[in-house]
Amino acid sequence: MDAAAPLTVVQRRIAVAAAICVMAFAAVGVGLIDVSLFGRHEGGAATAHREPAIRADIVDRNGELLARDLPVHDLYAQPQAFWNKAQAAQELAAATGTNPARILRIFASKHRYVLVARQLAPDAQDRVRRLGLPGLEFVRAYKRYYPKGYAAAQVIGLTDQDGNGLTGLELGLGSRLRASADGAPPKPVQLSLDMRVQYALAQEVANARKEFTAKAAGGIVMNVDTGEILAMVSLPAPGDGPVVDPTSGADPYRNRMVNDVYELGSVFKIFSFSMALENHTITSLDEQFPIGRGYKVGRYTIHDAEKMPATLSVRDILAQSSNIGTAQIVLRSGGAEQKAFLTRLGLLSAVHSELPGAAGPIYPKNWGDIETATIGFGQGISISPLSYVRAAAEVVNGGRAITPTFLKHPADARGAQLISPQTSATIRGLLRYVVTDGTGKSADVPGYDVGGKTGSAQVPGPDGRYLHGPLRTSFCAIFPDDNPRYLVFVLLDQPHGTKKTFGLALAGFTAAPLAGRVIARIAPLLGMPPAPVHTVAKENS
């Protein structure tokens, strides 16, 4: 057989062209498979059209929805597809509610695909589709929605457009809110918050802040056995409108109950009396202390806010909130013992919970006699309200350690014994006496045996010296006193007296009645009907 004739030039060219066509069609086929299976295309709207990660729902302790990811779409465009980029930019801006100058600027870039708008809701998507513009593409995404609006906003927090936590529990809970590695939808995260209690606390604190024209205010409700936070309020808050003092620079997204520290004043005396009982420097509540007009500690003289008798018993020192009497009691223990006791209660370190950014305490480096005396009645040491609430709960719950939590944890979570049960019981009795016979009378709620302590602290100025006049008032309440389940703490920053309070802004006139109103509202919600109030019937004449 003759050998095959060599290919002509024309034939070789045809063969090369055929090979190029085959390769081109193969490349197109691979590209189509790549797009259809993996959603990728060169310079496309997204490098991977994967289903975006969804964050877990957040619900309160009763299952009320507080946060949820809902499907939205990001809008991408191919600027080269528009005949008139300026007109397209104007139309897209109107449909999506974005800036037309920004859209036109990104249309002028060299990118084949550009992001026009993020997280478009269905109605915005419909407006875009009705424009009939070429070269547009919607990419599935999720947007975080908060059905309760601004309620507990500083606690729940916020996310960014990529679904990353920025503040509050959205940041602090971290991986608990993200999908697992296998891509399974995360389970809802149930908080300890009770939105019924949250609304009641928020409304009462807001009313009191308005009544006394306070610069700021806040409150916390805690279960003293589990450490669960049922409500936390910090005012001003998002959605409040203008603050009382627009020049204060108050940040409505700042959680003052966790992120700020304060000298809380006489509510701190709870710890001074607990220490004295625990180390037996006082053995009788009837022991008398000289009060007089002042008490000298070195070159300083300690005074009381109001006129006191010449002598007071231990129980009346607390009930009438005498700084002079408290100073004498704590000086029996001394600074070293005081520092050790406050350390044991966790007051000399930042409190830990699921909320990030907890502020640490501020206290003196040199802890001498005058520091011991002033810290004894809550001046010269600054702590966060949450840190205070945790330590106060430990004192009244039988003396056992707890960890504050914003996650539902209904079981008793008390830990190590910090003070004796006997000391804890004695303090509870003293707190009840403060409400029945002392400065906390306006916090009493019939049927609930409220115990508590007032605090009226001087406010330090920018130079560190105390301002003349302004006070920071607070009240720590427990109920029922004999076996407390809940603690209510409220704070008013620089309230002003009213005609009703005879111009006085002390805690007994401002914070104590606020705490009483909160308890009256939330106790029935928490399944605690008031106990019968026994009265003596009058005989018919």
CATH number, domain at 113?
3.90.1310.10
127/245 same-domain check: no
Mean pLDDT of the chain: 88
pLDDT at residue 175, rounded to an integer:
83
pLDDT at 143 over 60: yes
Residues contacting residue 277 through CB under 8 Å, at least 6 positions apart: 423, 426, 427
Check if 192 is active-site: no
Whether residue 173 is predicted with pLDDT greater than 70 in this model: the reply is yes
- What per-residue confidence (pLDDT) applies to 181? 64
Domain-located, residue 377: yes
Read off the CATH number of the domain in which 370 is found.
3.40.710.10
> Do 169 and 241 sit in the same domain of this protein?
no
- pLDDT (tens digit per residue) in 106-137: 999 889 999 999 999 899 999 999 999 999 99
User: What is the tens place of the pLDDT at every residue in 292-311?
Assistant: 889 999 999 999 988 899 99
Residues 515 and 381 in one domain: yes
Q: Which of the two residues, 247 and 19, has the higher pLDDT score?
A: 19
CA distances from 455 to 17, 266, 302, 511 (A): 92, 4, 17, 8
The predicted model gives 420-434 an average pLDDT of 98
Establish if 172 belongs to a structural domain.
yes
Is the pLDDT confidence value at 322 over 70? Answer: yes
Q: Is residue 354 part of a domain?
A: yes
pLDDT at 495: 97
Can you count the helices (H) and strands (E) in the chain? 16, 14
Is residue 240 in a domain? yes
The reply to whether 369 and 224 lie within a common domain is: yes
Question: What value does the mean pLDDT take over residues 450-477?
Answer: 93
Confidence of residue 462 (pLDDT cuts 50, 70, 90): confident
- The residue among 150, 171, 190 that closes a domain is 190
Average pLDDT (386-410) is: 97
The answer as to whether 304 is a domain residue is yes
Above pLDDT 90, what percent of the chain?
A: 76
User: 46-50, 176-180, 314-318, 459-463 — which is least confidently predicted?
Assistant: 46-50
Which of 4-13, 35-44, 511-520 bottoms out in mean pLDDT, i.e. has the lowest?
35-44
Residue 464: pLDDT band (50, 70, 90) is confident
Range with lowest mean pLDDT among 105-109, 276-280, 317-321: 105-109
What is the domain range of residue 92?
58-190
Residues 201 and 312 placed together within one structural domain of the fold: yes
Q: Does 183 share its domain with 282? A: no
> Do 62 and 91 share a structural domain?
yes
Indicate if 303 and 220 belong to the same structural domain: yes
> What is the average pLDDT across 203-229?
97
| Predicted pLDDT at 41 | 39
β-bridge partners, 453: 476
For residue 11, what pLDDT is reported?
A: 58
162: Cβ contacts below 8 Å, ≥ 6 apart: none
Contact predicate 389/371, CB 8 Å: no
Q: Which residue is catalytic, options 234, 266, 382, 424?
A: 266
Q: How many domains does the chain have?
A: 2
**pLDDT for 204:** 98
| CA-based radius of gyration for the chain | 33
Any residues with CB less than 8 A from the CB of 534 and at least 6 apart, and which?
A: none
Q: Is the pLDDT of residue 537 over 50?
A: no
Task: Please check whether residues 216 and 170 belong to one and the same domain.
Answer: no
Split at pLDDT 50, 70, 90, the class of 474 is very high
Q: Is 212 exposed, middle or buried (0-12, 13-18, 19+ CB in 10 A)?
A: buried
Percent of the chain with pLDDT over 70: 86
Residue 331 sits in the same domain as residue 416: yes
Average pLDDT over residues 314-326: 97
Report pLDDT for 163.
Answer: 87
Strands (E), 430-506: 451-460, 466-479, 486-493
Confidence band for 31, pLDDT divided at 50, 70 and 90: very low
Q: Average pLDDT of 455-471? A: 90
The pLDDT of residue 439: 97
Q: Over range 193-199, report the average pLDDT.
A: 98
Together in a domain, 171 and 208: no
